[in-house]
Amino acid sequence: MESTEQTARFTCTCGPSEETFRQIYLTAHKSWRIFWFIFAGAFLIYIGYHMTNRILWSLYAGEPLLTEPMFWLFIGELALVGFLTAWELTGPKRYAKKQLRRIAETYGGKDPIVRVSFCDDEMRIYNEASDSRMQMSYATIARCVETKTAFLLITQEKQFLSFPKDCFEGIDIPGVRAFFDAKCPNAKRNLKKADA
Amino acid sequence: MEQMTQSAGARAQFVLTDAYAREMYRSIRPRVLIILGIVFFVPVLVYCITKIAWRALFSYVTGAAFLEGVSMWLAVALLLAYLVGFIWLLFAPRRRAKHLVRRMHELYGAPAQIRVSFLPDAMKVQMTAESPGISLAYPVFVRCLETSNLFLFVTREKQLFPVAKQGLLDVDEETFKKSIALKCPDIKRNWRIAE
């Protein structure tokens, strides 16, 4: 452990939190969520337009609305899209809670504090709860993402490493950005500008 | 480590290969969902195919446009959605298995060599020889499945812990099953009947 700290440029010590997992979910599902909300919005406009027409027509012509199959089809579609949208909106919270429950199950309720040492050639990850160590090269990082509260490193196999901004020791936030910029030159980066 | 080995009942050591991972995911396919899917979607599928075939014949004989009318578009869209969903589900275990093996390789730099020790009160899992591993108390398991090459332990939070039959050390399969039945008497098991 000592040798790890000697060569480390800076470290990050953090445990799992609901916010971390929320950020991971939001980043991983960003494209899908954008697609879904555009689709659901367009669908609602379409259904809303047709339903208003039907209701107005039935009021004007005095035709019964509830016996029309199309009306119930619209209601069914509306309910389905509404349910799926609600499911997607609650997704981050559900995912975060599930991951926290899994962690509690795996470590028997102990909080697994992870200490990551950022060295020049690799990251060294030490899990206090299981007393395990592993190394990860910067070459495996395919994406660097900066959110409001954390930095996320995403590997080629879509594994997420999350580093809350307030958990870094020995460096400031612009320094972390510059470090990831330099160490992961081939990764797709959406880090904020230095003055952001 | 030595202490752990001494007190361990059964032990297993195996490499998590693509075939094992595929078998693992196949054995936990959501069967209820699949049956519901078949029950609900087969009538839709039959309707779509009949409609499309009838329309194709009609358009061939009369020269009318094939994709005419909303219901025809709907039938084609439903059929395509069903086929895509079906193929997606069919290949899900293979896809997940590949993904898992690649992730393990990425994390540990080599195919994951899993060591499992069945201690008196917990199951100890090590992903590398150096790591002390994690201990899972037996009450966290809710299901034990037996497949042709694996014993699969499923936790309350749906985490999967496979044990390869070929990787069992010191014990045979029947003894292993008996010892697990003693350690987890309340969990749902589908052990095959010994011949």
The residue extents of the domains of chain A are: 2-16+112-190, 28-97
The ipTM value here is 0.76
**Contact status of B155 with chain A (Cβ, < 8 Å):** yes
Distance CA(B128)–CA(B113), nearest Å, equals 6
Residue of A nearest to B123 (CA): A106
Sort out which chain A residues have CB atoms less than 8 A from B103's CB and list them. Answer: 157-159
Q: A134 CA to chain B: closest CA distance, Å?
A: 7
Core vs surface per residue A165-192: b (16+ CB within 10 A) or e? eebbeebeeeebbebbeebbeebeeebe
Residue with tokens 């899990």, as numbered in its chain: A127
**Contact status of A101 with chain B (Cβ, < 8 Å):** yes
Query: What CATH number matches the domain at A2-16+112-190, 2.30.40.10, 2.40.170.20, 3.40.50.720, 2.30.29.30?
Result: 2.30.29.30
Of the candidates A141, A195, A175, A196, the residue with the CA atom closest to the CA atom of residue A12: A175
| Tokens describing residue B97 | 């298995």
The CATH architecture one would assign to domain B2-16+112-190 is Roll (2.30)
**Contact status of B140 with chain A (Cβ, < 8 Å):** yes
pLDDT (0 to 100) of residue B8: 56
Rounded to 5 degrees, φ, ψ at B162 are -85, 150
pLDDT (0 to 100) of residue A194: 45
**A42: burial class by Cβ within 10 Å (0-12, 13-18, 19+)?**
exposed
Neighbours of A138 (CB within 10 A): 21
Distance CA(A145)–CA(A138), nearest Å, equals 14
Give the HSE-up count for residue A187: Cα atoms under 13 Å, Cβ half-sphere.
24
Q: Where are the domains of chain B?
A: 2-16+112-190, 31-93
Taking CA B54 as the corner, what is the angle to CA B51 and CA B57, rounded to the nearest 5 degrees?
A: 145
Per-residue pLDDT band for B87 (boundaries 50, 70, 90) equals confident
B157–A131: do the CB atoms touch at under 8 Å?
no
A105–B107: do the CB atoms touch at under 8 Å?
no
- What is the value of pTM for the model shown? 0.80
pLDDT at A181 over 70: yes
B131–A157: do the CB atoms touch at under 8 Å?
no
Sort out which chain A residues have CB atoms less than 8 A from B155's CB and list them. Answer: 105
B107–A136: do the CB atoms touch at under 8 Å?
yes
Residues A72-123 have pLDDT tens digits of 877 888 888 899 999 999 999 999 999 999 999 998 877 889 999 999 889 9
C-beta of residue B142 within 8 angstroms of C-beta of residue B155: yes
